[in-house]
Amino acid sequence: MKEPKKWVQLKVTCNARDTDLVSGVMSMVDNGLMIEDYSDVESIINGVYGELIDESILNADRSVASVSVFVPLVKSPAESEAFIRKQLDETGIRYTVEHIGVSEEDWADSWKQYYKPIKTGKRLVIVPLWESYKPKDGETVVLMDPGMAFGTGTHETTRLCASLLESYISPGCKVLDVGCGSGILAISASKLGAGSCFACDIDPVAVKVARENADINSTPNVTCAVSDLLKHVPAAEGGYDVVVANIVADIIIRMSPDVGRFMSENGILIVSGIIDVRAAEVTDVLRSDGFIVETERYENGWYAAALKKGRCSQKEK
């Protein structure tokens, strides 16, 4: 008999006023959300059915709400949680995350049995540290132990960015990875021949994981540091040749006016973390800041693009 599918409930608790924002982020994982929001219960209490309301609801904190998504173990709930945390951290709101359905001691390892080597493009193969893999001719292996940082190669946005890196990394080029998560993209760039890679993330845990993965892959030219977007990014002589930002639409829009000054004259900006319905909104802003769309790719409702820096961006005029 076929084993029943096992699910994990990822529950985000937040201020009730942030429910829509949290729901938007959670819907990037799956559209089947469960929302617990008691902020409007007052209108029901005063209505005809008020006396039928359960006492636990009557006593609930109406300033707090929660949004849950249910993730099958085969889809790597740890990756989904890391993705949710990454998106919410960028918004700056206060929240907590709990996972229900897997014991705490099994949480970190429960999904590993489903995480297998993944080919993200023509050359790159992302291989879990605990798996053995013999590369075929022409393949470049990137070893990953993501821990609780986003970036194993299972998410569409990571695969899209990795495949674009294959097209735009040239030997010896300088790379900046903004919002690096596990470090997967900076390490991939290094393995593809980049001369130096600076990887940064707002989350110190992600930066720690990225450093460990850089060591695992013997990529000493990958430097990892904590930074709120571009705030602590060092200037590179002549500018970065490739900047990759696999984050979220609103944050890409926010950094659009400033990222050009970190780039070389003909630098390439690779962006993802963008749901397809917001692709035009993001690219319109980037175009207004002097970028030219060169390549666009879609996968399962997600969008990624590679844009060339124009000779004169708005910021430099």
Return the pLDDT at 48: 41
What is the C-alpha to C-alpha distance for residues 52 and 317, in angstroms, rounded to an integer?
65
Return the pLDDT at 315: 43
What is the C-alpha to C-alpha distance for residues 304 and 300, in angstroms, rounded to an integer?
11
Of 75, 269, 302, nearest in space to 164 by CA: 269
What is the C-alpha to C-alpha distance for residues 309 and 174, in angstroms, rounded to an integer?
15
- Of 76-85, 128-137, 193-202, 203-212, the one with minimum mean pLDDT is 76-85
Return the pLDDT at 106: 59
End-to-end CA distance of the chain: 67
Looking at the domain covering 7-107, what would its CATH class be?
Answer: alpha beta
- The answer to whether residues 120 and 162 touch, using CB atoms and an 8 Å cutoff, is yes
Return the pLDDT at 316: 41
What is the C-alpha to C-alpha distance for residues 281 and 283, in angstroms, rounded to an integer?
6
What is the C-alpha to C-alpha distance for residues 225 and 194, in angstroms, rounded to an integer?
18
Return the pLDDT at 121: 86
Looking at the chain, the domain(s) classified CATH 3.30.70.120 span 7-107
Tell the burial category of 92 from Cβ atoms under 10 Å away from its Cβ (0-12, 13-18, 19+): exposed
Which of the four pLDDT bands, split at 50, 70 and 90, describes residue 76? low
Residue written as tokens 């997600």? 302
Give residue-wise pLDDT tens across range 145-172: 866 556 667 788 889 999 999 999 999 9
113 C-beta neighbours (distance < 10 Å), count: 10
What is the C-alpha to C-alpha distance for residues 236 and 196, in angstroms, rounded to an integer?
10
The proportion of the chain whose per-residue pLDDT surpasses 70, expressed as a percent, equals: 81
295 C-beta neighbours (distance < 10 Å), count: 15
**If you average pLDDT over every residue of the chain, what do you get?**
84
Give residue-wise pLDDT tens across range 264-283: 999 999 999 898 999 999 99
Return the pLDDT at 47: 47
Looking at the chain, the domain(s) classified CATH 3.40.50.150 span 147-316
Which of the four pLDDT bands, split at 50, 70 and 90, describes residue 45? very low
Return the pLDDT at 176: 98
147-316 is classed CATH 3.40.50.150: yes
